[in-house]
Amino acid sequence: MFKILVGTITALTVTSAARAAELNPPTQAVHGGNGNVWQLVLSSGLVVQLVLALLVLFSLVTWGVIISKYLAIRQARQQNRRFQSAFWQATSLAQAQEGASSLPGSPLAAVFHQGLAELNRIARLRAEGRLKGVSLPGLMENLRRALSQGQEAESTRLARTVTFLATCANTAPFIGLFGTVWGIMDAFRAIGATGSANLATVAPGIAEALVTTATGLFAAIPAVVFYNYFNRRLQVLETGMESFRRHFLNLVELSQQDGAFPGPEAVAPVQLRPEA
């Protein structure tokens, strides 16, 4: 008896479902997945389209910064290695300068040029007799400041435009959220105008709104990832410049003879090359 009752209920359920399917056939998607997205963008309101255009611009600039900064940092690392090899094998600062002149992308070479320029200036002023009464620590302090200025200038140059990645990472999601809120407001206005709150009325407006959120995340995620990556690389380059600055100061101090400040010709990096 129980089996007969279960069979009867199952048959009635299947029959009801079949009749419902005949009366309300499922609607077919007119467009494919990609077509739907583009259709949503084209049919969205002016404000949503402006938000999308702004986010696309952010994304394009972000990838431009990423590519250019990656190439610049890679060049800096490669040329730093070449400069260090040439510098510590040089028998004089003049010889080291010849090797550094062909490495415009090396931060270490730029710091070296700043230090060498200060050494040449001190040698010129001393030959003119204009440094009488200036103590050796005072001259070393001038050299230290010149090297620090070169280091700061290179740090600023390398970090240029990286801050845009942080700006994009912080603002793009909120810009996308603004577009989402505006799209949802349009959806509710459509509900009020039609007096209908079914899924067919609400879904298009909400879908248009969510496109801006997705675009904002598409612009922000690479910016966050590469901002952290570049910060780490820049810290390594900064540490390398600080280490070279200290080595250069030590080299000048150890090249002093009879307590006199050495000229550029008296400094031979190869004689004081640090052990690897």
Burial readout 184-206 (b: 16 or more C-beta within 10 A, e: otherwise): bebbeeeeeeeeeeeeeebebbe
Q: How many CB atoms lie within 10 A of CB 246?
A: 12
3-state secondary structure 58-75: HHHHHHHHHHHHHHHHHH
**pLDDT class of 98 with cuts at 50, 70, 90:** confident
Q: Report yes or no: 259 and 136 within 8 Å, Cβ to Cβ.
A: yes
- How many whole angstroms from its chain centre is CA 128? 49
Ranking 168-172, 180-184, 247-251, 267-271 by mean pLDDT, the lowest is: 180-184
Distinct helix (H) and strand (E) counts, the chain: 8, 0
pTM higher than 0.85 for the full model? no
Cβ burial, residue 15 (10 Å; 0-12/13-18/19+) = exposed
150 in any annotated domain:
yes
Q: How far apart are CA 233 and CA 78, in angstroms?
A: 13
69 in any annotated domain:
yes
Amino acid at 45: G
| 14 vs 40: which has the higher pLDDT | 40
Q: How far apart are CA 26 and CA 43, in angstroms?
A: 24
24 in any annotated domain:
no
Mean pLDDT, rounded, of the chain? 81
The structural domain count of the chain equals 1
**pLDDT class of 194 with cuts at 50, 70, 90:** low
Radius of gyration from C-alpha coordinates of the chain: 34
For range 168-173, the mean pLDDT: 94
| 173 vs 46: which has the higher pLDDT | 173
137 in any annotated domain:
yes
17 in any annotated domain:
no
Q: How far apart are CA 215 and CA 212, in angstroms?
A: 5
29 in any annotated domain:
no
Joined tokens for residue 201 = 């009325």
8 in any annotated domain:
no
Ranking 27-41, 54-68, 222-236 by mean pLDDT, the lowest is: 27-41
The gap between the terminal CA atoms of the chain, to the nearest Å, is 92
Ranking 90-94, 101-105, 145-149, 183-187 by mean pLDDT, the lowest is: 183-187
Range of the domain at 106: 34-272
